[in-house]
Structure 1
Amino acid sequence: MEKRKFTYLKPAEIKPQGWLRKQLELQAEGLSGHLDLIWPDIRDSRWIGGDREGWERVPYWLDGFIPLAWLLEDQELQARAKRYIDAILAGQQKDGWICPCSEAEREGYDVWAAFLICKVLAVYGECSGDGRVEQAVYDTLKQLLSHISSKTLFRWGAARWFECMIPLLWLYERRPEPWMVDLAYVLEGCGIDYEKLYSKLSFERPGAKNYWTFVNHVVNVAMALKSRAEMSLLTGEDPDAFALAFYRKLTKEHGMAMGHFTGDECLSGTSPLQGSECCSVVEAMYSYEELLSIGGHPFWGDVLEQTAFNALAATVSADMWTHQYVQMTNQVECTRLPQEKNPFNSNSGEAHMFGLEPNFGCCTANFNQGWPKFALSAVMRSEEGLAVTALAPARVETQMDGKKVCLIVDTRYPFRDSLKIRVLTEGETAFALSVRIPGFARSARIRIGGEVRQAQPGSFFTEKKVWEKEEEMEIDFCFETEFVKRPSGMEALRRGPLFYALPIEGEYERIEYERDGVVRKFPYCDYGIAPKSDWAFGFGGGPVETLHEELPEMPFDREKPPVMLEMEMVPLDWRKEGGICSEKPESLEPVGEPVKKRLYPYGCTTLRMAEMPRLG
């Protein structure tokens, strides 16, 4: 088996700090931390002996809830997670089958859920050290080999076969046996060959509405980015070749202004009115984390940060109580759209609303993995030491050559442009400390002791030395504002890892009701959001000024963002009808004098304009 470039630390070794810890605390205090108490598909799931959904929703939720509980060292959350794991393990059959269905139902059961629950068990094993987990995963996967050899994969299992590689490789590292390699190749043989498919398949969106396929489904695509990297650990192939080519094609033909790609439900082009599913955001992040770990290419750290700080932050409310099913680049209203005005490919007109489970409940369960897994990816172990792979405040306590080492990443990045790394050691300890220098920096200056050095953006800076007692590394980045051209002929504005948007003040309507046995009642309700401020503008000329404010209680606060850009904006004749704006303004002729406006980070907006004409 090939080695990963970077390996994940044990959850007990890494502790999120600063704004990142606050984000996790908000998640625990919000929807993620309460789903098992109020949402029937988790609370009453067949996975724990109930009568509700017994497929992907409990595993999706646990995949984020478990690392959340252990990163926060919250014993009450950990006990609630253990209740689910206990029930799942108790329900495993003697032959290894673990999913909650009868033997008669097995033939028609989509084993995607088996892949997912094994991923969850591996995460739980890493967090808790529970000795039961390894054998349960072993028995499940050995039975799975027999099952899919005669039944073959279909539907979601065929589309997501490589997700099973994650628990399979985890198991193989611990107790390698030949049948495990057989299972890897049976999975690959039964599943969709994305490498071949996407080298031939046109990504152009058909003109017909309700176009839906497994091969263009945006979540499958987000997951598939890592498919060859997972297999590369067995085959020795280049872990990045497919992913890099695939990502470039995706973002060229379906890219959004802030760096993610559209899909509502399937890949949907480059219009700023198309949405992207929340599940695709967190699954793309996990793909980038795995790609960064396996191949070590710093590019994946760039797109991971970009996706987390923009797409993820925007599609979940600042207090973490609500989320969207899809987000839009230019999102001037979040109310139920009439069908004749609905721009989405195959989602309903409520898909962009914020609530408990708008459009469909998969994202309600799955958005939970985004921030906890990002936190687990902030610092990894390299062959020679430690690597700061995603820039965020964190504290690592581990051992090097039997000696205690503490690494503290002290930063307000991405809201500020610098970080300080403190290294505390138990006596003299030799190891390499690597730090990812973002590719969107113009330059980076590093100070170690009294020495100042320049680091190359888009690479890892590595300091290999004997560290003694307490030492510091300080890094200052130079970020510049830049306009990014869009296929629409309009542009987007970015500075460093953050894209910026014109915020639109919203008028909130609380919507409480019951549907399909699920009650929406505050704080678990939905919201309609209508615009209360002007939004029809283009970028003007003149300087762009960066403004910093104190970090608020909620890191991605919609009212008090920690950083803003101020510039002239030009009012335009830009129409809105049926809850959405037109794709472009009626003309580029100004309808008034330029006015100074403050632009917020995209992740600090709910209603916004992010893709606009540049008139300066």
Structure 2
Amino acid sequence: MRSYFKIKSFIIAGICIITSLLFINWGKPIDESVTVVKRITIKSTNKFYISNKAPLQPDQFIKLPAGSIKAEGWILKYLELQRDGLTGHLGEISAWLDKNDNAWFSGTGKGDHGWEEVPYWLKGYGDLGYELHDEKIIAETKAWLDKVFQSQQPNGYFGPTFKQNDYTDLWPNMIMLWTMQSYYEYSNDPRVIPFMTKYFKWQTTVPDNKLLQTYWENSRGGDNLYSIYWLYNRTGEKWLLDLANKIHNNTADWTQQNNLPNWHNVNVAQCFREPATYFLQSKDSSFLNATYTDFHLIRNIYGQVPGGMFGADENARKGYDDPRQAVETCGMVEQMASDELLIGITGDPMWADNCEDVAFNTYPAAVMPDFKGLRYLTAPNMVISDSKNHSPGIQNERPFLMMNPFSSRCCQHNHSQGWPYYAEHLWMATPDNGLAAILYNSSEVTAKVGNNKEVSLKQTTNYPFDENITINITDANAVEFPLYMRIPGWCTGASIKINGQHVDITPGAGSYVRVERKWKTGDKIEIFFPMHVTVRIWDKNKNSASVNYGPLTFSLKIDEVYKLIDSKQAVAWDSKWQANADQSKWPAYEIYPASMWNYGLTLNDQPLDQQFEIIKKAWPANNFPFTQNDVPIMLKAKGKLIPEWTLDKYGLCDTLPQSPVAVTTKETDITLIPMGAARLRISSFPVVK
């Protein structure tokens, strides 16, 4: 009898152990399927969100309709600053937005002014309203668009009726179409689809020798192409694909080997995506490859600098490739938009990496902390921000380095798209009816997934200033769907927990973790992206060095002195303001250094964690980490002054000396802060010995 009970106990114990192993599954719930993927395997089409319709190449990721994502954390703060600052009030300031005799607001296309400025501004202004659910902004956007609808002529053309040398300039209309597309996604206004259809019907009647002939429209025809595909995906009318071929064939050739149609910095940042857009229809990989080639070509020649951009000033010039060469604010926001579009087309996480690089490191310092002024040009190495003419040190001849709300026609208006578009791409839908965390920031997304169930996910993080990201399922009723989480290209050793249990995977940098399971309210995902100090040597730019901590690039902390100046005097020739604009509310500033900036970085053979001290501070109470005083992280490093490295005859920091630089000055402690918080900065350091 004892033997029987021993055997029975042994069997029961064994069953218990086996059952436990089955349910524990070495730290993973049994109903969980976790994989690491480089790209999505597309076997179906998303049932709930419009994506590319056959025969177009299917999307890897699908943009959610405007208003689906509620920004939180520091990105919400940025949107609020835009609303309360230049973006939200530009209609009261800019003469180009004056409704009186404005060709965009007349309802007839006639007026004494009206080109790219109105659609540039509306493109981001409207999306800002949809993001914040701001009824005042939404109503103002609609008031402008109502006039655009009225302006459509019987033949289908809309907007201003100005012509250039007998050519109808389609460039400003391209921007307005993007504004219409966001408006439709938010409102479902039934006027939009027939409006765009009629306009594109008109384009089919324009002879090739009259189509896309002027400089801007010819360079930027890819934006027109994208809108054609947007409409085709909603109507399926085959003639639109014929028009797409026509537009592509008349757009500047961005597929050239070792050359670009032009080297204007905004054109490059915006137009290099055209071949990848056309790849959706042609399915010819050479077009997709051309976009990658263009991206690397400009950076190989002029982009040996940190911050995700390149140093072209307005137009890149051979021999001018030092980190003191700048990029327009327009170029920054267009590069971000290109990255966001390309992540959908290709699924390649490198585009999200580049978008974050620009968004975190280059773009924030191009605007004032209160978002009431901006700079036309910003460089990785920039130690003075004044109203003087620095040409030919920089390519532009006018006062383009100062912070001024009236500084230019383009950036003054085009800046508006930067953060709203970024916020709209934090989350994207997937072809397998799931969701993907693409760009990390505190936010809440509400979307349909799985078998037509609506869910809400809330992301909480101080990324990129922190390594931890939490995603909570705040509203889901046992619905099965895949959730993708991007692993940044800079990150090794990422780890994930689901409901407190470690997921037994080793995701590589530049990949996605895909988790498919039945999600329910209360489920919690914890993501850890370990950050370390890294140093990048730019061997094609004097062996200079830049310092990173995770996705953040760091700059020398230079004491900044702000000098108030007359914002209506030190402006470019094409800057205009409304007569009743209150200058006192919209000041302009020059920024001067009040401490030494000409330091080289001391590096040795010791591990980097012994050469740099990481200092972390409390998160700022105002939720805005992009100022010198409020950055939550700094680095202590060692450096030496380089006495010969001074301002040059053009009033710019001189070009980099060749590293390593031999100096006799004493080694000293230097402080580095995130590049995005440094409106004066040295981000590419000479290395001293």
TM-score (norm 1): 0.93
Partner of 1:246: 294
For residues 146-185 of structure 1, what are the structure 2 equivalents within 5 Å? Answer: 146-149=205-208, 151-154=210-213, 155-185=215-245
**Distance of aligned partners of 1:158 and 1:20 in 2 relative to their CA distance in 1, 3 Å threshold:** same
Tell which deviates more after alignment, 537-546 or 487-496: 537-546
Larger strand share, 1 or 2: 1
Of residues 165, 170, 194, the one that matches 1:135 is: 194
- 2:654 is matched with which residue: 582, 586, 610? 582
For residues 274-328 of structure 1, what are the alpha-carbon distances to aligned partners after superposition, in whole Å with 9 as ceiling and x for unaligned? 1111111111111111110111111111111111111111212222111111111
- Which residue of structure 2 lines up, in the alignment, with residue 478 of structure 1? 530
- 1: CA distance, partners of 2:576 / 2:489: 48
Farther off after superposition, 575-584 or 90-99:
575-584
Report the counterpart of residue 361 of structure 1 in structure 2. 409
In the alignment, is the contact (CA less than 8 A) between 1:446 and 1:455 conserved in 2?
no
Indicate the residue corresponding to 2:612 in structure 1: 544
**1:517–1:6 Cα change, 3 Å:** closer
Distance 1:279 1:148 in 2: 31
Report the Cα offset of residue 585 of structure 1. 5.1
Alpha-carbon contact 1:355-1:526 (below 8 Å) kept: yes
Task: Map 1:56-75 to 2 at 5 A.
Answer: 56-75=116-135
Aligned length in residues: 599
Q: Distance in 1 between matches of 2:201 and 2:554?
A: 49
Q: Secondary structure, in 3 states, of the residue corresponding to 2:529?
A: strand
Select the residue among 275, 297, 310 that pairs with 2:348.
297
Distance in 1 between the 2:394 and 2:489 partners?
Answer: 33
Q: 1:79 aligns with which of 133, 139, 147?
A: 139
148 and 42 in structure 1: CA distance in 2 versus 1, 3 angstrom threshold: farther
Amino acid at match of 1:288: D
For residues 530-579 of structure 1, the C-alpha deviation after alignment (integer angstroms, 9 at most, x for no partner) is: 11111121112452122222333223123221221111222221212453
| CA distance in structure 2 between the aligned counterparts of 1:95 and 1:551, rounded to whole angstroms | 57
1:523 to 561, 585, 610: 585
Cα displacement (A) at 1:86: 1.0
* Bigger shift: residues 599-608 or 316-325: 316-325
SS for the counterpart of 1:241 is helix
Q: Is the 8 A contact 1:22 1:555 kept in 2?
A: no
Aligned-pair distance for 1:425? 4.3
Q: Deviations over 1:361-413 (max 9, x none)?
A: 20111011011001111100001200011111110112222322111111110
Structure 1 position 520, deviation (Å)? 7.9
- 1:237 maps to 284
Q: Find the counterpart in structure 1 of residue 636 from structure 2.
A: 566
1:24 pairs with 2:92: no
Does structure 1 retain, via aligned residues, the 8 Å contact 2:496–2:528? Answer: yes
After superposition, the CA RMSD in angstroms is 2.1
Contact 1:264 1:276 in 2 (8 A): yes
Asked if the contact 1:47/1:54 (under 8 Å) is kept, the reply is yes
| Native 8 Å contact 1:575 1:585 kept in 2 | no
Q: Do the aligned partners of 1:355 and 1:527 also contact (CA within 8 Å) in 2? A: yes
Q: Deviations over 1:585-608 (max 9, x none)?
A: 599344543222221111001111
Q: Distance in 2 between matches of 1:90 and 1:555?
A: 44
Farther-moved stretch of structure 1 (19-28 vs 112-121): 112-121
CA distance in 1: counterparts of 2:127 and 2:179, whole angstroms: 10
CA distance in 2, matches of 1:148, 1:10: 35
Shift of 1:522: 2.8
Judging changes above 3 Å, is the alpha-carbon distance between structure 1 residues 117 and 462 closer, same or farther for their aligned structure 2 residues?
A: same
Asked if the contact 2:383/2:593 (under 8 Å) is kept, the reply is: yes
Q: 1:271-420 maps to which residues of 2 (within 5 A)?
A: 271-338=322-389, 342-345=392-395, 347-358=396-407, 360-384=408-432, 385-400=434-449, 401-420=451-470
| Runs of 4+ deviating beyond 4 Å | none
Q: Find the partner of 2:184 among 125, 129, 132.
A: 125
Aligned match of 2:69: 14
Q: Which stretch of structure 1 is more off in the superposition, 571-580 or 178-187?
A: 571-580
Q: Percent identity?
A: 28
Determine if the alignment matches structure 1 residue 464 to structure 2 residue 511. Answer: no
Deviation at 1:15, TM superposition (A): 0.7
Q: 1:209: which partner in 2?
A: none
Once structures 1 and 2 are overlaid, which stretch shifts more, 546-555 or 33-42?
546-555
Residues 419-434 of structure 1 aligned to structure 2 (within 5 Å): 419-434=469-484
**Aligned partners of 2:312 and 2:298: how far apart in 1?**
11
Larger C-alpha radius of gyration, 1 or 2?
2
Unmatched 5+ stretches in structure 1: 204-213
Compared CA separation, residues 333 and 232, structure 1 to 2 (3 A): same
Question: Which residue identity lines up with residue 270 of structure 2 in the other structure?
Answer: M
Q: Secondary structure at the match of 1:568?
A: strand
Structure 2 counterpart of 1:506: 560
What is the deviation of 1:107? 3.2
- Give the SS at the match of 1:469: coil
The 3-state SS of whatever aligns with 1:492 is: strand
1:22-56 Cα offsets, whole Å, 9 max, x none, are 11111111101111112110123321128453111
Q: Decide which moves more: 445-454 or 222-231.
A: 445-454
CA contact (8 A) 1:484 1:493 kept: yes
Instruction: Name 2:203's counterpart in structure 1.
Output: 144
Distance in 1, Cα, partners of 2:148 & 2:179: 11
List per-residue Cα deviations over 1:45-72 (Å, max 9, x = no partner). Answer: 3211284531111111111111100100
8 Å contact 1:92–1:99 — kept in the other structure? yes
- Deviates most, 279-288 or 128-137: 128-137
TM-score by length of 2: 0.83
State the secondary structure of the residue aligned to 2:57: coil
Q: Is the 8 A contact 2:269 2:338 kept in 1?
A: yes
Cα distance, 1:503 vs structure 2: 2.2
Contact 2:533 2:547 in 1 (8 A): yes
Q: Does 1:226 align with 2:281?
A: no
Whether the 8 Å CA contact 2:279–2:288 is kept in 1: the answer is no
Q: Which residue in the other structure is 1:208 paired with?
A: none
8 Å Cα contact 1:225/1:284 also seen in 2: no
Cα distance in 1 between the residues matched to 2:208 and 2:369 = 46
- In the alignment, the residues of structure 1 paired with residue 370 and residue 638 of structure 2 have an alpha-carbon distance, to the nearest angstrom, of 31
Report the alpha carbon displacement of residue 351 of structure 1 after superposing the two structures with TM: 1.3
CA distance in 2, matches of 1:608, 1:404: 46
1:74-114 deviation digits (Å, cap 9, x = unpaired): 11111111111111111221221112116x77933311112
Sort the Cα spacing of 1:106 and 1:575 in 2 relative to 1 into closer, same or farther, 3 A: closer
Q: Distance in 1 between matches of 2:80 and 2:288?
A: 34
- Structure 1 stretch 69-78 or stretch 89-98: which is displaced more? 89-98
The aligned residue for residue 605 of structure 1 is 678
* Aligned residue type for 2:613: E
Contact map agreement 1:337 1:350 (CA 8 A) in 2: yes
Sort the Cα spacing of 1:217 and 1:597 in 2 relative to 1 into closer, same or farther, 3 A. Answer: same
| Higher relative contact order structure (alpha carbons within 8 Å, sequence separation ≥ 6) | 2
| Cα distance change, pair 328–513 in 1 and its aligned pair in 2 (3 A) | closer
